[in-house]
Amino acid sequence: MKLFSARSALLSLVAVATALTGCMRGGTSSEPPVHLVLDMDFQPKLRAQAKTEFAGWPDGRSMRAPVADPFGKTLVVAQGSLPDPKLANRTAGNAFVTQNPVPVDGRVLARGQEMFDIHCAVCHGYSGQGGNHPQGGHGLVGRRWPVAIPNFHFVDGADNRVPQMPDGEFFEVITHGKGTMPAYGARIGVEDRWAIVHYIRALQRLSK
């Protein structure tokens, strides 16, 4: 008898608890369910389009404005009366120009190095010595590339076609790619492509 009442008391307690927490099967309720396990469902946060008092963002917006020029595509060169560098890789006679239209200075060279190290070194190596250079002057990707990665440096007895290419042709290869090399025209700004050509020339001068 005593045992029975203890058990029924326990059962009714479970029933009440179940009803209270709203998890009785088939039951409906217009109330939101009781949240026993919070699972970080409630937390302080900033909502999109909302205002914030956060002092670090003086414009008072909870959303941040997109970063301007995230890939550093714009190189502001003191251009003066430069010809349009986009069109300047070929002459009117359709030959490649030999003269880089962007004037070189320390800043342009540094920019060229930065862009070369980001975009070209994985294949051509930081030194520009190509994928199969015996001294390991190759990029991590270039060393496994199915096609030999050309060397930008002059080598005695080699045909030296690539190191001799005019500036405009380097620009062309960067812009449109060549063979199995991908095109970088969509990823590297015009002035930056010319800056890379300046940097390759500087690398060549080191090995001459």
The reply to whether 203 sits near ligand HEC by the rule CB under 6 A is no
One of 147, 155, 158, 183 touching ligand HEC (CB under 6 A): 147
Structure tokens at 66: 């997109």
Report the residue number, 61 or 201, with the smaller CB distance to ligand HEC.
201
Give me the least distance between CB of 57 and ligand HEC, in Å please. Answer: 37
**Of the candidate residues 85, 125, 137, 150, the single one contacting ligand HEC (CB under 6 A):** 150
Residue 51 φ/ψ, nearest 5 degrees: -85, 155
Q: How far apart are CA 22 and CA 16, in angstroms?
A: 10
5, 13 contact by CB (below 8 A): no
Nearer to ligand HEC, 43 or 94 (CB): 94
DSSP states along 77-133: ---TT---TTTTTB-TTSPBPSS-SSPP-HHHHHHHHHHHHHHTHHHH-TTS--TT-
Smallest gap from residue 55 Cβ to ligand HEC (A): 42
Stretch touching ligand HEC by CB under 6 A, among 13-21, 57-65, 92-100, 170-178: 170-178
CB of 23 to ligand HEC, least distance (A): 57
Are the beta carbons of 119 and 111 closer than 8 angstroms?
Answer: no
Does residue 109 touch ligand HEC according to CB under 6 A? no
Smallest distance, ligand HEC to C-beta of residue 187, A = 8
Residue 126, Cβ density class (10 Å: 0-12 exposed, 13-18 middle, ≥19 buried): middle
Segment holding 82, helix H or strand E: none
Should residue 138 be labelled a site residue for ligand HEC when binding is judged by CB under 6 A?
A: no
Report the residue number, 61 or 187, with the smaller CB distance to ligand HEC: 187
Shortest reach from residue 84's CB to ligand HEC, in Å: 21
CA 19, 24, 28: angle at the middle one, nearest 5?
95
- Residues of this chain that interact with ligand HEC (CB under 6 A) are 119-120, 122-124, 141-142, 145, 147, 149-150, 162, 170, 173-174, 178-182, 184, 196
